[in-house]
Amino acid sequence: MSSSVIYEAFWVGLKEALKAGLVWIVLFSFLQVIDRKKLSGFFLYGILLALICPLYVFTLPVTPQLKELISRSIDTSFALFFILSAFLLAHGSGMNLLGAIERAFGKTVIAAPVLLLLSALYFAPDFAGNSVFLMELAEVKESPAAVYISATAGIVFGLAAFYAARKKIRVDFIGSFFGLPQLFLFIAMIKLLGGGIKGFSGISLIPSVQTGFMKFFHDFVHQVFVILMVPDHPLLKTTAWNFIGILFGPNFSSVAALAALLAIPMLFLSHSFLGPVPEPEAETPADRRKIKGLFMSDRKRKAVSVLLFVIFIVVAWFSESGENISKLYIPKPRPVVEDKGTVMIPLKDPTMDVRDGALYKFSLSYRGEEMRILVIKKDDGKLSVCLDACEICPPRGYGQKQGFVVCIYCNTPIPVATLGQPGGCNPIPLHVLIDDNFIRIDVSEILQKWDYVKSGKGKESVK
Amino acid sequence: MVFFKKSISERKGRVAIASFAVVLAVTAITGLLGITVGIREKLGTELRAYGANIVVYTEAGAYLTEDFGARISAMSNVEEATSQLMANVVFENMSFESVGLDFQQIKGRGWRLSGNWPKEQGEILVGINLKSALKLEAGKRIKLVGQGNSGPGKEFLVAGFVEMGGNEDNAFILSLPDLWSITGLAPKVSAVLVRGMPGALDAVVANIKRDFKDVSVKTMRQVAVAEDLLLQKIQLLLALITIVVLFSASVSVASTMGATVLERRKEIGLMKAIGATKKEIGLFYKVEAVFIGLCGGIGGFIIGFAVIQAVSKGAFNSFVNIPFYIFGAAVSIGVAVSVFSSLIPVRGALKYNSAAILRGD
Amino acid sequence: MAFIKLDSASKIYETAQALRGVDLEVEQGQWLNIVGPSGSGKSTLLNVIGGLDSLSSGNVVIDGAEITGLSEDAMAVFRRERIGFVFQQAHLIPYLNAVENVMLSQYFHSMSDEDEAIEALKRVGLGHRLTHRPSQLSGGEQQRVCIARALINSPKLLLADEPTGNLDRENTRIILELLKKLHQEEHFTIILVTHDPFVSQWGQRIITMEDGKIKCDEFICYL
Ligand SMILES: Nc1ncnc2c1ncn2[C@@H]1O[C@H](COP(=O)(O)OP(=O)(O)OP(=O)(O)O)[C@@H](O)[C@H]1O
Ligand SMILES: [Mg+2]
């Protein structure tokens, strides 16, 4: 087990180093090609600035709120780069949006601090997230120093790999693939692929854009109705709301998320491949063809990274919305706290209603232990409250899929109607009191049953 | 573009042969990946939802007897024990899995039911997948015959349909006496599912082992681990096969490409003479290789998919879900194999001296 | 300075010495014919000038660029922009039709342009054979496709190795008339290898090779 911890720490370090190296190489190539090589130093200063972040994070206690904050900032920083590139792509596909900005970027006084800031913003959340991850790793490990050492080793190794490869890299060749918008898009993409905390797998793009849309539509429609002061007419309730409800649904917003992410790259692509080609002046037809050919191949090269992005988005959308969203819905646990030996979970607050049929999870941090509880409404209207774990499997918890909750570890589907049954891979039921506003659970009840989950097997025995 | 298209269609035969080799390789890979992610879902899900944490059974083909259940439930630290019989039954000349159990004892547990819970003997539940496949409805009477039993069979009333996400979705579920009566297996059972007190599982297992000889007793967690191991062994075997197939596919693609290259020496010389660089000529072959990889990859995925489903149908009597990304993985492996193995012959091709090839004789 | 300049160019194969110190200067726009007995090194000389073959010693300068030291790919790039080739055998790609064969040359040069390719075929009198494959064309027609292909990228130099070697007198005349017309319109340099005295009269200069050396160099009247 301990060797796998060291391996993970090493991997995290390696990943961050390689990511930084990759982004740096591309940025450097780009600056070289546009003859602004000197600016690339500011990118490195940005990384240094971002390194302050983990130094600060290491002094903080790891709480769910901190993790939430960090994962938000990772999403936001991706969004920032994506929006920037979208803006520039739109500019590139015909709408001249930024003559002034372009001129400003020509001046080092403006370009350098902007680059420094962007670089810092890009890396800070990732570095912070991985610091938290390392801190958590160090806690389960007998000698925490080993974790940090192996992470450092990963970083050194990654940087060395890049340094060694540097001579082989054809900078002008790479640079010819990038314009400014493509550069931002590429950087956003790297973030998406390698930006998640820990591994490469955690692509949170589609779900986060999607929830953004769901919330946006929901709020927007609500506001409109409030402004129009539409009364809560029964007719409106049944027909209109059923119809409008589609907008809040996961399917609609996941399509909207796809459309939003693809719209501008597609515009750019169509411009690149179908747009008019200037008819250059030249002595012979062959010379004219030559100039035209150069123009077109440059345009195609610059479209490559955009095309990659489009493919990537479509694949991510299919695999995420196809698999995870419509099939297995795994909500983020909401933190709850213990008060005088009781945990009180509100049935309803402005952001949720546990009786709406969706799966809800809550997490309780207690004496250094994090325990999860799941709540879901059954068809008969009763609430089922269980631990987010079963007797058999390592406690990875459950996701929701149609009328089932599904064990994430072993894939066993448990019909929602039968929740509350003990044993097997059923979620372990909790004894609770439910009144008009709250679900009340004794902390001792949770502790005792979670202890059983842990001692029964834990991660080690079933790998 | 038209050059690439015509260049490939000119060599349809060779391209087809090379694609076929890639098809075989990708079929094997799809099989490997599909079994890894798809069939894993299938293993053991059905038992887990019952709420048992210990299972008692004997070697394959042999049976326990019914009184085991009663005796085990009388033991200390045992909350309950249910007996189950798995047997095949024949309905309209087709064979189906069936499960015999005690409806009253497991009522509501782990089942999603449409229709009614069987109240008396002669009433049965049917897996949801069979509902549409066999056009059954609640209240209908159907005739089932025990497979391999010469008896006349019996009519049953379909009380409802169950959905569990496991094998039961493809099976008939009968009460134990009913299944005995059509199969003639009374009083045998296949397994006893035991719910022991959490925390005292080891003691219960030890007690059962002590009291009953010649039975296997496993906690559910042990079953899970054993299934994991089995899966790993299957995977290892498949991985070996895949390596062999991949290797022979590469050789096949390489030799096909080698032959093509030889045929096209004049063409290569000419292209050089009209000013094509090595990279640009290589592109013709790369396009061809990618095309072969794509055809082979897609074809291989389709066949591999069919094979997995056939295997799964045979072994688990149900189909598996193959995630979308496996398609991408299969196709990219196909392309990679094809491009990689055409590298060497194409390298060789680019070395020809065009003056020698084009010499006017 | 001369458009083409060879300086003691030698080519030694394992079995034979094809060129023995050839010195040659060709002016821009000149039509030069090379004649000589079989095995005297005519083709080798042409290939060396076109960069299809490399020299054993000496050097070649074309249009101010020393091509002797160029890598194979750099030579290919040089070739596609400045040199057109016509061979005794047509060497057309069998599965492409006439227009596509011309377009292939455009494609390697920069990008293909079908209208321009059709126009070029019309100029060599093949407006009615555009979508015929090489196997459906006569030898003379094939050779005219080759000329269209060789000239499509407006080269400064056309190298032709026995372009009429496989043709009858009538077709030979058509080809030569065509070359003459194009040469007068576009002023590219022509170096043409032949052993046919009839053909060698179509030009401004004849050099005679023997045993890898230039034996005789004479200017004639352009027919
Ligand atoms: N690739 C080669 N390897 C060895 N010897 C060669 C090679 N190419 C040409 N030679 C030799 O070099 C000499 C010149 O050949 P080249 O083809 O230049 O003659 P040529 O004047 O074009 O003859 P022809 O009129 O028959 O075409 C010949 O003796 C030939 O045998
Ligand atoms: Mg010759």
pLDDT in tens, B194-249: 887 767 777 888 888 888 877 888 777 676 666 667 777 877 887 888 888 889 88
- Centre of ligand 1 to C-alpha C204, Å, is 25
Per-residue pLDDT of chain A (463 residues; tens, 9 = 90+): 456 677 778 888 888 888 888 888 888 888 888 888 888 888 888 888 888 888 888 887 776 677 767 777 777 777 777 777 777 777 766 555 556 666 666 677 778 888 888 888 888 888 888 887 787 777 666 677 778 888 888 889 888 888 888 788 888 888 888 887 788 878 877 877 765 544 333 445 555 565 566 556 656 665 665 566 554 444 444 455 555 555 555 566 667 777 777 887 888 788 778 777 778 888 888 888 889 888 888 888 888 888 888 887 777 777 655 444 445 677 888 888 888 888 888 888 777 778 877 888 998 888 778 889 999 988 788 889 999 988 776 677 888 876 778 877 666 777 787 788 777 778 888 988 888 888 999 988 888 888 877 765 433 333 3
> Residues with Cβ within 6 A of ligand 1?
B 356, 360; C 13, 15-16, 18, 36, 38-44, 195
Q: What is the pLDDT of residue B166?
A: 64
Residue B177: pLDDT over 70? yes
What is the spatial distance between Cα A297 and Cα A301, in angstroms, rounded to a whole number? 6
Q: What is the pLDDT of residue A210?
A: 59
Q: What is the pLDDT of residue A340?
A: 85
Pick the range with the lowest mean pLDDT from A10-19, A149-158, B35-44, B323-332: B35-44
A292 touches chain C (CB under 8 A): yes
- CATH class held by domain A3-204: mainly alpha
From the alpha carbon of C45, which atom of ligand 1 is closest? 18
Q: What is the pLDDT of residue A215?
A: 59
Average pLDDT over residues B160-184: 82
What is the spatial distance between Cα B223 and Cα B44, in angstroms, rounded to a whole number? 8
Question: Three-state DSSP class for B131?
Answer: helix
| Reported ipTM | 0.91
Closest CA to A354 of A443, A449, A434, A282: A434
Residue B293: pLDDT over 90? yes
From the alpha carbon of C209, which atom of ligand 1 is closest? 21
Q: 10 Å Cβ neighbour count for A262?
A: 16
Confidence of residue C50 (pLDDT cuts 50, 70, 90): very high
pLDDT in tens, B270-281: 999 999 999 899
What is the spatial distance between Cα A381 and Cα B36, in angstroms, rounded to a whole number? 39
Q: 10 Å Cβ neighbour count for B131?
A: 20
From the alpha carbon of C37, which atom of ligand 1 is closest? 25
- Calculate the alpha carbon distances from B46 to A310, A425, B88, B141 in Å: 41, 10, 17, 27
For B254-259, the CB contacts below 8 A with 24+ separation are B254/B341, B254/B342, B254/B344, B254/B345, B255/B345, B256/B14, B256/B17, B256/B18, B256/B21, B257/B18, B257/B285, B257/B288, B257/B289, B257/B341, B257/B342, B257/B345, B257/B346, B258/B345, B258/B348, B259/B14
Q: What is the pLDDT of residue A96?
A: 54
Which residue from B minimizes the CA distance to A315? B325
Q: Same topology for domains A3-204 and A334-455, yes or no? A: no
* Residue whose tokens read 């996701």: A399
Q: Would you tell me which residues 270-289 of chain A have a C-beta closer than 8 angstroms to some C-beta of chain C?
A: 284-287, 289
Q: What is the pLDDT of residue C138?
A: 93
Residue pair A350/A334 in contact (Cβ under 8 Å)? The answer is no
Average pLDDT over residues C141-166: 93
What is the spatial distance between Cα C136 and Cα C95, in angstroms, rounded to a whole number? 11
List chain C residues with CB under 8 Å of A285.
Answer: 113, 116, 154
Which amino acid would we find at residue C84?
A: G
User: Which DSSP helix (H) or strand (E) runs through A371?
Assistant: strand A369-377
DSSP secondary structure of C31-89: EEEEE-STTSSHHHHHHHHTTSS--SEEEEEETTEE-TT--HHHHHHHHHHHEEEE-SS
pLDDT in tens, A364-414: 888 778 889 999 988 788 889 999 988 776 677 888 876 778 877 666 777
Q: What is the pLDDT of residue A411?
A: 66
Residue B37: pLDDT over 80? no
Tokens of C110: 């920069």
Judged by CB atoms closer than 8 Å, whether chains meet at B273 and C50 is answered as yes
How close does chain C come to B252, measured CA to CA in Å?
25
Judged by CB atoms closer than 8 Å, whether chains meet at C110 and A293 is answered as yes
Most B CBs within 10 Å, among A410, A426, A452, to test the B interface: A410
- Centre of ligand 2 to C-alpha C151, Å, is 22
Residue C122: pLDDT over 70? yes
Omega of the bond prior to B187 within 30 degrees of 0, cis? yes
Phi, psi (degrees; rounded to nearest 5) at B102: -100, 105
Question: Which of the residue ranges A82-96, A365-379, B254-268, C155-169 has the most confident prediction, judged by mean pLDDT?
Answer: C155-169
Residue pair A398/A411 in contact (Cβ under 8 Å)? The answer is no
How much of chain B, in percent, has pLDDT values that exceed 90? 11
Average pLDDT over residues B307-329: 74
Average pLDDT over residues B151-163: 85
Q: Crossing angle for the helix pair B265-273 and C72-82, nearest 10 degrees?
A: 60
Of the candidates C73, C81, C91, which has its C-beta nearest B358's C-beta? Answer: C91
DSSP secondary structure of B149-202: --S--EEEEEEEEEE-SSGGGGEEEEEHHHHHHHHT-TTEESEEEEEEPTT-HH
Q: What is the pLDDT of residue A235?
A: 47
User: Which DSSP helix (H) or strand (E) runs through A306?
Assistant: helix A285-319
Residue pair C112/C160 in contact (Cβ under 8 Å)? The answer is no
Chain A: list its partners (3+ Cβ pairs within 8 Å): B, C
- Centre of ligand 2 to C-alpha B75, Å, is 103
Cα four-point dihedral sign B72, B78, B80, B86: negative
Q: 10 Å Cβ neighbour count for A457?
A: 19
pLDDT in tens, A324-366: 444 567 788 888 888 888 888 888 877 777 887 788 899 888 8
Average pLDDT over residues B88-97: 83
What is the spatial distance between Cα B301 and Cα B29, in angstroms, rounded to a whole number? 8
What is the spatial distance between Cα B216 and Cα B209, in angstroms, rounded to a whole number? 8
Tokens of B118: 């069987």
Average pLDDT over residues C168-172: 92
B50 touches chain A (CB under 8 A): yes
Q: What residue segments make up the domains of chain A, in order of their start?
A: 3-204, 334-455
CATH number of A334-455: 2.102.10
Say how many residues make up chain C: 223
Most B CBs within 10 Å, among A425, A448, A451, to test the B interface: A425
Most C CBs within 10 Å, among A289, A291, A295, A297, to test the C interface: A289
